[in-house]
Structure 1
Amino acid sequence: MGILNTLLQAVTWWNGATLNTMIYTRRKGVKVGEDGQGNVFYRNADDSRRWVIFNGEAEASRVDADWHGWLHRTFNEVPSEKPLQHKPWEKPHQENLTGTMLAYAPAGSIRAGGVPKERSDYEAWSPE
């Protein structure tokens, strides 16, 4: 199964880095840091390019806010050297739950469990 996993990782973008990205990262990448989720961040020698190699599934919502700002050049300080000062009201990062059983379901939704509630503020149209 190891050879199959290596082959899948080499040709699919959602399984980590593709073969070309791995080669480019080894040749030209300078490791800048790593976040709490194991994602590794790189830049090239002249800092004209910045990228991330995801630890597991490539999901953009898994990049922390401070590293997101560094990737998009909102600020140039590397978050591992100068972390952001987080506000006390900020919630910890939560991954994107869309498409999972834990996704948000509003009240009255069939997915919310139980029978949908009767609506008293709506009357269905019926032709005369």
Structure 2
Amino acid sequence: MALIRRICGWWYGATIGTLVHTFFNGEKVGEDVQGNVYYKEKKGSKRWVIFKTDVEASKIPPEWHMWLHHTVDYTPAEKKPVRKEWEKELEPNMTGTVHAYYPTGSLNEGGKRKKTTGDYEAWTPGS
């Protein structure tokens, strides 16, 4: 089953073609705390990532994102990023999971919103 997922579904991780290309043309430059592995071409300027789990771009830390998009020429492995005290740890996109954010008043939070002080009156069909 895992082999079929690898062959047919790029969203489950690197495809066979990507792994073959990486083996012949890629040079490993580092790995992030989540286990994603980053590569660059041996002869060229292309850069890519092979995700440890499902492919989800929000799982790439900012310092590696800058390197992938050629914003900086050094990897976080070469030059340790300076973290500000206000910076939070990377949190992937939680949309569609049980950890997703639902604002007060959304249907997933009971559909009741706080009363407003304005003159707003909701429209109801048939009135």
Q: Could you tell me which residue of structure 1 aligns to residue 122 of structure 2? A: 124
Q: Over residues 29-88 of structure 1, what are the superposed CA-to-partner deviations in whole Å (9 max), with x where a residue is unaligned?
A: 000000000000000113410000000100000001110000001100111121211111
Which residue, out of 26, 39, 43, partners 1:42?
A: 39
- Structure 1 segments, 4+ long, off by >6 Å, are none
Counterpart contact for 1:66–1:83, Cα < 8 Å: no
Normalised to the residue count of structure 2, the TM-score between the two structures is 0.88
Q: Could you tell me which residue of structure 2 aligns to residue 29 of structure 1? A: 26
Closer/same/farther in 2, CA of residues 115 and 70 from structure 1, 3 Å limit = closer
Aligned residues: 124
Query: Tell me, what secondary structure is at the counterpart of 2:112?
Result: coil
* Unmatched tracts of structure 1, length 5 or more: none
Identical amino acids, percent of aligned pairs: 44
Counterpart contact for 1:11–1:19, Cα < 8 Å: no
- Residue 60 (1) aligns with residue 57 (2): yes
Q: Over residues 11-30 of structure 1, what are the superposed CA-to-partner deviations in whole Å (9 max), with x where a residue is unaligned?
A: 21011101111110001000
Q: Could you tell me which residue of structure 1 aligns to residue 76 of structure 2? A: 79
Q: Could you tell me which residue of structure 1 aligns to residue 101 of structure 2? A: 104
Closer/same/farther in 2, CA of residues 72 and 118 from structure 1, 3 Å limit = closer
Closer/same/farther in 2, CA of residues 53 and 108 from structure 1, 3 Å limit = same
Counterpart contact for 1:28–1:45, Cα < 8 Å: yes
* Unmatched tracts of structure 2, length 5 or more: none
Q: Could you tell me which residue of structure 2 aligns to residue 7 of structure 1? A: 4
